[in-house]
C-alpha cells in the first residue's frame, strides 16, 4: 500500500511539472499569427551609418517553421542589403535570400520558411546614414501564409512570390462538351481569337492565308464609296488580320458583296497591326475613307486562319 502511495505522489509531482512546463511554454510562444518568439539578437533599432552593417547572431531555428521579418527605415538599403541566411551547422551560410529595401511608404515584411537549422539576418545600409531603423525577426512555430495585399496595392518587383506551375483546361465546343488541355505555340504563347459574338476562344495557332495591297496614288479611296481590296478571302475562315496603312487617313474595313458592305472596323493611321478578326470564308473585303480621301501611301493586309 505504501508503495502505491509513493507511486501516486511521484505521478502527481510529475503532472505538476508537466503543467508548469506547458504553461511556461505557452507564455513564451503565445501572441501573433502562429505563435512565436521575437529574436532580439536578429532585431535592431540602432540606426546605421552610411554603408553600415548589422549582423545578427546565429539562431537555432530547429523548433520553428517560419521567420517573419519586418524592416522600416528612413534610408534605402544597399542593393540586396536585406540578407536572410540559412546554415546547416551555424558556420557555413549555404542558402541566402536577398532583398533591397527602398525607403518611402510602408515598411517591408516577409514570411519565409525556415529551411535549415540555423538562421541569421544581415542588413547592409545604403550610402546615406539612417536617422531611424527598425528591424525585427519573429520566429513562429507554425507555417504562416505569404504577405497579403489589397487589390488596389497591386504587385511590385520586391513582393514575395510563390512560383506556380499549372495546366489550363477548357470546355470544348464539340459534341459532349468535354474538357481538353490548352496548348501553346512553340514559343510558349497562346493565340486568342475574338469571334463575332464577342466570345473569346483560345487557338493553337494560325496559318498565313492571303494578302492584299493597294497603292493610293493609283487608286484613290474616297469617303463616298467602297473600294474593293480583295474579291474573296478564300475557302478558309480568317481568324486574324494584319494591317499596315501609310495614307495618314482614318479608313474603315468593309465585309460583304458590292453594294452590301458592312463596316467591320476602323483602320487607324499607320494601321492596326495584327488583331483577331473573324471573317467567314469567301468574304469580299473593301475599304472606304473616313477622315478624307486617301490619295498617297499604301495599304497592306495579311490574313491568317
What CA–CA distance (Å, rounded) separates 200 from 191?
10
Top-tier CATH class for 208-304: mainly beta
Q: Where are the domains of the chain?
A: 36-146, 169-203, 208-304
pLDDT digits (tens, 9 = 90+) for 172-223: 777 666 888 777 777 777 766 545 444 444 444 678 888 899 999 999 999 9
State in Å, rounded, how far the first CA of the chain is from the last one: 96
pLDDT digits (tens, 9 = 90+) for 79-113: 999 999 999 999 999 999 999 999 987 788 888 99
What CA–CA distance (Å, rounded) separates 179 from 223?
48
The CATH number assigned to the domain with range 36-146 reads 2.60.120.260
pLDDT digits (tens, 9 = 90+) for 41-52: 999 999 999 999
pLDDT digits (tens, 9 = 90+) for 15-24: 433 433 333 3
| DSSP-derived 3-state class of residue 294 | strand
Q: From the centroid of its chain, how far is CA 160?
A: 11
The radius of gyration of the chain from alpha carbons, rounded to an integer in Å, stands at 34
What CA–CA distance (Å, rounded) separates 201 from 203?
6
Amino acid at each position: 500500500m505504501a508503495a502505491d502511495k509513493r507511486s501516486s505522489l511521484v505521478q502527481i509531482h510529475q503532472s505538476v511539472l508537466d503543467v508548469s512546463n506547458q504553461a511556461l511554454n505557452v507564455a513564451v510562444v503565445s501572441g501573433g499569427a502562429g505563435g512565436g518568439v521575437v529574436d532580439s539578437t536578429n532585431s535592431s533599432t540602432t540606426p546605421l551609418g552610411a554603408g553600415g552593417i548589422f549582423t545578427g547572431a546565429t539562431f537555432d531555428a530547429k523548433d520553428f517553421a517560419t521567420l517573419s521579418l519586418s524592416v522600416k527605415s528612413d534610408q534605402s538599403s544597399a542593393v540586396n542589403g536585406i540578407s536572410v541566411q540559412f546554415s546547416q551547422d551555424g558556420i557555413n551560410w549555404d542558402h541566402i535570400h536577398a532583398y533591397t529595401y527602398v525607403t518611402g511608404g510602408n515598411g517591408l515584411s516577409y514570411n519565409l520558411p525556415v529551411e535549415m537549422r540555423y538562421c541569421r539576418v544581415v542588413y547592409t545600409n545604403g550610402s546615406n546614414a539612417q536617422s531611424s531603423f527598425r528591424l525585427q525577426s519573429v520566429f513562429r512555430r507554425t507555417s504562416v501564409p505569404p504577405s497579403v495585399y489589397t487589390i488596389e496595392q497591386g504587385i511590385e518587383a520586391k513582393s514575395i512570390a510563390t512560383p506556380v506551375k499549372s495546366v489550363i483546361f477548357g470546355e470544348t465546343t464539340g459534341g459532349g462538351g468535354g474538357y481538353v488541355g490548352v496548348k501553346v505555340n512553340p514559343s510558349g504563347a497562346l493565340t486568342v481569337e475574338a469571334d463575332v459574338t464577342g466570345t473569346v476562344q483560345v487557338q493553337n495557332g494560325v496559318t498565313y492565308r492571303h494578302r492584299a495591297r493597294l497603292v493610293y496614288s493609283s487608286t484613290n479611296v474616297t469617303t463616298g464609296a467602297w473600294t474593293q481590296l480583295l474579291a474573296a478571302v478564300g475557302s478558309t475562315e480568317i481568324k486574324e488580320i494584319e494591317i499596315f496603312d501609310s495614307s495618314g487617313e482614318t479608313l474603315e474595313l468593309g465585309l460583304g458583296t458590292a453594294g452590301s458592305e458592312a463596316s467591320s472596323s476602323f483602320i487607324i493611321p499607320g494601321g492596326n497591326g495584327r488583331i483577331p478578326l473573324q471573317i467567314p470564308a469567301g468574304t469580299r473585303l473593301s475599304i472606304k475613307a473616313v477622315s478624307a480621301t486617301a490619295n498617297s501611301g499604301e495599304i497592306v493586309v495579311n490574313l491568317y486562319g
